[in-house]
């Protein structure tokens, strides 16, 4: 019995798929609708994946960030110079020939026009210590040279140089009361640092009247396992009133708002566009069922059951979903993957640069969504086809 039903399903489904060319116009409408949904879905969610990739590359487990107690980010933090020295003296801090690998840091937000729109955008100008580059394991100067300590010179992250106007080697920028010279471009394998402009911390303090204060201290630990010991030493030291994060923990907290927002918007857009694609698929499948009314009735009269009819219509709908989803995925991959852009980091109210990232799991997710749309679009027409009275169908012209 089961083998008979399966053979009937195979026969009707094969016949139905071969006849899809007769419904080419309506099939193309459904394909375009589903492909459009998938393209937009992947495009929006690739922003989320790109932002996550930037933060994953930025988050080391053997680098700690120390902020003032109660602060959730660097903008709300403040540390005195004596405190940053006490942090650098901790026994769990890694050292080299130049001393403790520690960078007391502060930053201000400067206006730099976007290349794409020429409108002003907030870009972090970060003051760093001499050991800062050793705290970013993939840091390297790719053009020009490093800034000279004590001078109004800056180096620019590769991502920032590609998104914001004027950040080229040799150019001069006016920020605050000083004129700054861009001496080099650096990269750090796509991390958050590439969205920033760096200069000597002491120069930035003087330019913006920050005295000897800092906002954070970045520390290279002897190992990831030393974090708890370092954290205990910092939080129990009476000279300090601080919070300690690993870089990974810090950036995960910083990214939560933006990742949630992008995911929510992407899902909402996909659902709304998906409704349109479902209606297109419904129209296509209802047209298919209407065109095959006599054929379906004849098959039922010959002994074919309702199940093979339902299966044949659903298979056509799923095939439309699969082809449309595949087309959308291919278009999205070549349109978005690697595309560089910038967006507002709501935690710091400054721009962060990233590359759209179309991952394999994201492609599979989009294809699954396309199949769901196809299934929903074929469900009601297949049910109608299976319930069609044989006598009614045979009278159709």
The percentage of residues in the chain with a pLDDT greater than 70, rounded to a whole number, is: 78
Has residue 96 been placed in a domain?
Answer: yes
Has residue 247 been placed in a domain?
Answer: no
β-pairing verdict for 178-187 and 153-157: parallel
> What does pLDDT average to over the chain?
81
Instruction: Please state the rounded mean pLDDT for residues 294-315.
Output: 67
Environment class of 381 (CB within 10 Å of its CB; exposed 0-12, middle 13-18, buried 19+): buried
Closest C-alpha among 191, 262, 281 to residue 43: 262
User: Does residue 57 contact residue 348 with C-beta atoms inside 8 Å?
Assistant: no
Has residue 63 been placed in a domain?
Answer: no
User: 142 and 270: one domain?
Assistant: no
Phi then psi for residue 176, to 5 deg, are 65, -135
User: 286 and 161: one domain?
Assistant: no
User: 220 and 311: one domain?
Assistant: no
Query: Can you tell me the distance from the alpha carbon of 243 to that of 185, in angstroms, rounded to the nearest whole number?
Result: 32
Residue that is last in its domain, among 188, 205, 240: 240
Total count of domains within the chain: 2
User: 236 and 107: one domain?
Assistant: yes
User: 174 and 313: one domain?
Assistant: no
User: 364 and 228: one domain?
Assistant: no
User: 51 and 77: one domain?
Assistant: no
Question: Which of 20-34, 110-124, 304-318, 378-392 has maximum average pLDDT?
Answer: 110-124
Has residue 186 been placed in a domain?
Answer: yes
pTM of the model: 0.73
User: 145 and 22: one domain?
Assistant: no
Has residue 353 been placed in a domain?
Answer: yes
Has residue 245 been placed in a domain?
Answer: no
Query: Can you tell me the distance from the alpha carbon of 9 to that of 43, in angstroms, rounded to the nearest whole number?
Result: 37
Has residue 246 been placed in a domain?
Answer: no
Query: Can you tell me the distance from the alpha carbon of 158 to that of 155, in angstroms, rounded to the nearest whole number?
Result: 10
Residue that is last in its domain, among 218, 240, 262: 240
Structure confidence by residue, pLDDT tens digits, 221-278: 999 999 999 999 999 988 899 999 888 888 877 777 777 777 787 778 777 777 777 7
Which of 16-25, 186-195, 217-226, 374-383 has the weakest average pLDDT? 16-25
Has residue 356 been placed in a domain?
Answer: yes
Residue that is last in its domain, among 214, 240, 266: 240
Which of 189-193, 237-241, 324-328 has the weakest average pLDDT? 189-193
User: 171 and 82: one domain?
Assistant: yes
Determine the pLDDT at residue 102. 95
User: 158 and 181: one domain?
Assistant: yes
Domain span at residue 138 reads 70-240
Q: What is the enclosing helix (H) or strand (E) of 273?
A: helix 247-291
Q: Binning pLDDT at 50, 70 and 90, where does residue 201 land?
A: very high
User: 222 and 266: one domain?
Assistant: no
User: 76 and 219: one domain?
Assistant: yes
């Amino acid at each position: 019995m089961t083998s008979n039903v399966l053979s009937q399903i195979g026969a009707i489904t094969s016949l139905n798929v071969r006849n899809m060319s007769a419904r080419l116009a309506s099939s193309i409408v459904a394909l375009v609708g589903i492909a459009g949904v998938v393209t937009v879905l992947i495009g929006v969610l690739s922003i989320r994946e790109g932002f996550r990739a930037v933060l994953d590359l930025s988050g080391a487990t053997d680098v700690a960030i120390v902020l003032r107690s109660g602060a959730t980010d660097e903008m709300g933090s403040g540390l005195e110079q004596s405190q940053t020295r006490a942090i650098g003296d901790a026994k769990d801090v890694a050292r080299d020939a130049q001393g403790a690998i520690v960078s007391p840091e502060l930053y201000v937000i400067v206006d730099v026009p976007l290349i794409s729109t020429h409108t002003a955008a907030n870009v972090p100008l970060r003051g760093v210590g001499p050991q800062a580059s050793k705290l970013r394991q993939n840091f390297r100067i790719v053009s020009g040279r490093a800034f000279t300590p004590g001078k109004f010179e800056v180096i620019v992250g590769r991502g920032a140089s590609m998104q914001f106007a004027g950040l080229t080697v040799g150019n001069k920028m006016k920020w605050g009361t000083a004129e700054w010279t861009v001496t080099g471009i650096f990269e750090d394998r796509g991390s958050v640092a590439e969205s920033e402009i760096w200069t000597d911390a002491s120069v930035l303090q003087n330019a913006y009247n920050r005295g000897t204060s800092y906002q954070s201290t970045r520390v290279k630990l002897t190992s990831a396992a030393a974090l708890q010991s370092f954290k205990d030493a910092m939080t129990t030291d009476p000279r300090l009133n601080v919070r300690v994060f690993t870089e990974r923990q810090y950036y995960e907290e910083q990214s939560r708002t933006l990742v949630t927002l992008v995911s929510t918007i992407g899902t909402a857009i996909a659902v709304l566009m998906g409704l349109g694609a479902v209606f297109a698929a419904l129209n296509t499948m209802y047209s298919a069922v209407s065109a095959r009314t006599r054929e379906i009735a004849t098959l039922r009269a010959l002994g074919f059951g309702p199940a093979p009819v339902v299966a044949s219509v659903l298979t056509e709908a799923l095939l439309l979903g699969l082809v449309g989803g595949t087309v959308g995925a291919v278009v999205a991959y070549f349109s978005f993957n690697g595309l560089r852009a910038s967006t507002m980091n709501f935690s710091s109210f400054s721009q962060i640069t990233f590359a759209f990232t179309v991952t394999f799991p994201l492609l599979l997710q989009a294809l699954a969504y396309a199949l769901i749309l196809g299934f929903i679009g074929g469900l009601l027409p297949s049910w109608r086809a299976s319930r069609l009275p044989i006598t009614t169908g045979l009278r159709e012209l």
